[in-house]
Amino acid sequence: MQERLGEIQNQAKEDLAKAESLEEVEAIKTRYLGRKGGVITEVIKAIPGLPPEQRSSTGKSANTLKQEISKWIEDAKGKFVGKEQASDSKKMFDLSLPGEHKPYGHKHPLTQTIDEIKGIFKKLCFDIEYGPEVEHEYYNFDALNIPADHPSREDFDTFYLGNKRLLRSQTSTVQIRVMEKTKPPIRMIAPGKVFRPDTVDARHASMFHQIEGLMVDEGVSFSDLKYVLTLFAQSYFGQDIKMRFRPSFFPFTEPSAEIDISCSLCKGKGCSVCSQSGWVEVLGAGMVDPNVFDTVGYDSEKYTGFAFGIGVERLTMLKYGIDNIRLFFENDLRFLSQF
């Protein structure tokens, strides 16, 4: 009987190796393991008729072989199932089915604003410049005529990194970097991130974006500054935009101004974004202080220039009626997909 089991084992192995489809494997399964007439089933059924001393060992061997053949059959099935499914799906490819929807991404609203502003200034022949976010104190303060005891240097107004390095708190750093490496005439804008340890509220975040502007040449005057900024505001918001120039102070410009845009959220009535004033400050600007020219080695008798810094978030909020700066940074697609 043991010999017969050996033969069955070899035969089953051979049959399975020859099988070329799932159907053939199923047929082999019936032939060997089928309840009625299966080769193994018949062997097991015949055991009670064997001499008593052979029954137990033959039973064990037959069961082992049954398990072995079952496993081979499952393996063989596995080989065909994948293949047949693949060829089935090829056969069933239906051109008329709707495609898989892959939503398009798009630029973040702040990037869209920056791109739009770059476009406006490119038309006025301004170059686009970039500077580092991790800066030396020299570029963020000293070279910008900001004295050692100026409040903006305090720990609670600037993120210090140690070793005279900091996260720049304004893009005015790029004015110095560009003037150091180029001679006038200069017309440039510099978009980028700035960092301040402000308490976060509807209008303030600890990281936001500015676009710095600088124009230096012989005979540049405050009326040029006013002209360029008015042109810019009208291009961005439309001809009817209401602007307000307020006298102000920055250590690196003299005279200086802050420029407000009428609050489009409350139509000038007063809301949390405009601090109930009806106006939102979006720009700081002024004529470059001669001390700054002296620091970068420009002849301050010969050259004059203007500089400005635009708050990108504020501008975007006003244009689209967004009442909370935090929405830009929460990455909520329900908000972002509206732009």
User: What residues numbered 150-179 form the site for ligand PHE, per CB under 6 A?
Assistant: 170, 172
CB of 100 to ligand PHE, least distance (A): 47
Based on C-alpha coordinates, what's the Rg of the chain?
40
**Mask for 242-281, x = binds ligand PHE (CB under 6 A):** --------x--x--x-------------------------
Q: Where are the alpha helices (DSSP H) in 98-186?
A: 109-123, 137-140, 173-181
Which residues, in sequence order, are bridge partners of residue 281?
260
Stretch that binds ligand PHE, among 69-77, 117-125, 274-282, 305-313 (CB under 6 A): 305-313
Which of 12, 216, 263, 307 lies at the binding interface for ligand PHE (CB under 6 A)?
Answer: 307
Which of 109, 131, 191, 284 lies at the binding interface for ligand PHE (CB under 6 A)?
Answer: 284
Quick check: 286 binds ligand PHE (CB under 6 A)? yes
Which residues, in sequence order, are bridge partners of residue 285?
257, 308
Quick check: 308 binds ligand PHE (CB under 6 A)? yes
Stretch that binds ligand PHE, among 13-21, 102-110, 292-300, 306-314 (CB under 6 A): 306-314
Nearest Cα to Cα of residue 7 among 50, 55, 43, 48 = 43
Between 170 and 316, name the residue whose CB sits nearer to ligand PHE: 170
Quick check: 72 binds ligand PHE (CB under 6 A)? no
Quick check: 285 binds ligand PHE (CB under 6 A)? yes
C-beta of residue 131 within 8 angstroms of C-beta of residue 174:
yes
DSSP string, 201-267: -SS--SEEEEEEEEEEETT--HHHHHHHHHHHHHHHH-TT--EEEEEEEETTEEEEEEEEEE-TTTT
CA 178 to CA 188: how far, in whole Å? 9
E strands of 289-329, at which residues?
A: 304-311
Between 303 and 308, name the residue whose CB sits nearer to ligand PHE: 308
CB of 170 to ligand PHE, least distance (A): 4
Quick check: 121 binds ligand PHE (CB under 6 A)? no
* Burial of 80: CB neighbours in 10 Å, binned 0-12, 13-18, 19+: middle
Q: Which two tokens stand for residue 4?
A: 């017969």
Q: How many residues bind ligand PHE (CB under 6 A)?
A: 11
Where along the sequence are the contacts to ligand PHE (CB under 6 A)? 170, 172, 250, 253, 256, 284-286, 307-309
